[in-house]
Structure 1
Amino acid sequence: MPTFPSRSRWLRWARASLMIVVCILLSACSVLGNNTRDRATVYDLDPRVQADPAWPKVDWQLSLAKVNATRVGDSLRIAVRPAANELQIYKGASWARIPTDMLEGAILRTLEDSGRIGAVARQRSGMSAKYRLMLELRRFESDYAAPGMSPTVVIEVSAKLLHIPSQSVVDSRTFLQQAPTATTSIEDVVQAFDQALHAVTGEIVGWVLASGNAANDPPRAG
């Protein structure tokens, strides 16, 4: 008759085999964990824009429509334009949020924190508002305009302020902000993006308050 190992011997053999498998797996994880070259560094822009004393105080409410953008420009990849007709991405780096979300969040927070407006909310919140801000993000990239030089970050936004009751556009404007980078490193490029987003957010918020205020209180005839 065939002989079988005892239960205790079989258990010892099973434990030893399991330990070998565990060691192999841990070793593989260690190798993967140390391979930082395959990891992407994630960056997020969160500018804090202080209210300008020149901004008017208004009592109407504003809804912020979802920001539109081209599919290529609205990506987690950080865009760079090495030549006029060429668009690439920075390797090993990405955004934590798509650019339209960063722009929308910066404008909403700046208006909320400014104390200059009755109320502001995203359009999908269902809040009843007098005006609606519609934005299109046209450019959100670093641009090597001059060969051999450090890039310049470019943010371009088209804005329209809509009077909701009449469905008429009371004002429109295109905002363009450029911020030069200190070097070609991705850290300096991201810093320039932060500066440009900070500047364009302040410009847009000031324009919204002034334009809505002028439309809401037109000059009276003398």
Structure 2
Amino acid sequence: MMPTVVRRLLQASVVGLAALSTACSVLPQAESLTYYQLPAVALTAQQAPASHKNLIIQMNRPHAERLLASSRITVLPQGNELSAYKGARWSDDAPALLRNRLADALRDAAQFRAVVLDSESVIADWELGGSLSAFQVEYVQGTPRVQIQFDALLRDQASGQLIQTRRFVAQQAVDGTAVPQVVEAFGLATDALSLQVTQWLGSLTVVTTTP
């Protein structure tokens, strides 16, 4: 005959396993995510001073607040309420997406000797960074539109001297409310902002002496 103490221990174990099984069965399932790349259209070559052809420009990842610095696709449905599209993510965080898009645009524009990223071990002449204060969908009178705001800082890498600053803003209406339509609008807005940045850099006449 099984001792009473052993029998009670076995009964407690069975009850514990049953409770654990029940708890596991009610845990929420992991959210199914779809990842999106930022659409882009190649820019044509842009005019720039001949001196730019001797320069290497480094693209730095812009600073951003926590939610904007993530891979979430953010939206302001009303007022200052900041949210994100459920089940959708960018392929990288927003500051990295913008940095990479601007770098590609500058390579397309063929204004500089080379365009590099801050993640690469290359000595550059100029650095372009700044802050990303908007990279989101905003609802204006019930209509969604993409809003991007980039405050650019251009400085000389060797001396750290600030060369120029400029605020860039791009807006693009969203043709619908589905996430793929939102992503397409983000692509158009970043294309427009990239063109603004390349034209601005091409208009500068500051000359940096390369050793």
TM-score normalized with structure 2 length: 0.76
Structure 1: how far apart are the matches of 2:80 and 2:133? 15
Instruction: Choose from 170, 187, 191 the match for 1:194.
Output: 187
Say which of 157, 174, 190 aligns to 1:181.
174
1:190 and 1:94 mapped to 2: Cα distance? Answer: 10
What do residues 54-90 of structure 1 show as CA deviations (whole Å, max 9, x unaligned)? 4445221112222211111121211010112100111
Amino acid across the alignment from 2:69: D
Structure 1 gap ranges (5+)? 1-34, 218-222
For residues 65-76 of structure 1, the aligned pairs below 5 Å read 65-76=60-71
1:42 and 1:210, CA in 2 relative to 1: closer, same or farther beyond 3 A? same
Paired residue for 1:9?
A: none
Q: Does 1:138 align with 2:133?
A: yes
More moved, 119-128 vs 82-91: 119-128
Q: Distance in 2 between matches of 1:70 and 1:159?
A: 16
Larger Rg: 1
Equivalence for 1:153: 146
Structure 1 residue aligned with 2:24: none
| Partners of 2:47 and 2:202 within 8 A in 1 | no
Percentage identity across paired residues of the two chains: 26
Give the one of 202, 206, 210 matched to 1:215: 206
Verify: 1:106 aligned to 2:101, yes or no: yes
TM-score by length of 1: 0.73
How much is the aligned-residue C-alpha RMSD, in angstroms?
2.1
How many residues align? The count is 178
1:129/1:161 CA distance change after superposition, 3 Å: same
Shift of 1:165: 3.5
TM-aligned CA distance change 1:121 to 1:84, over 3 Å? same
Matches for 1:37-116 after TM superposition, within 5 Å = 38-57=31-50, 58=52, 59-116=54-111
Residues 161, 208 of structure 1: 8 Å contact kept: no
Structure 1 runs (4+) deviating above 6 angstroms are none
- Counterpart-to-counterpart distance in 1, 2:70 and 2:159: 35
| Unmatched segments (≥5 aa) in structure 2 | 1-28
Give 1:196 deviation, angstroms.
Answer: 0.4
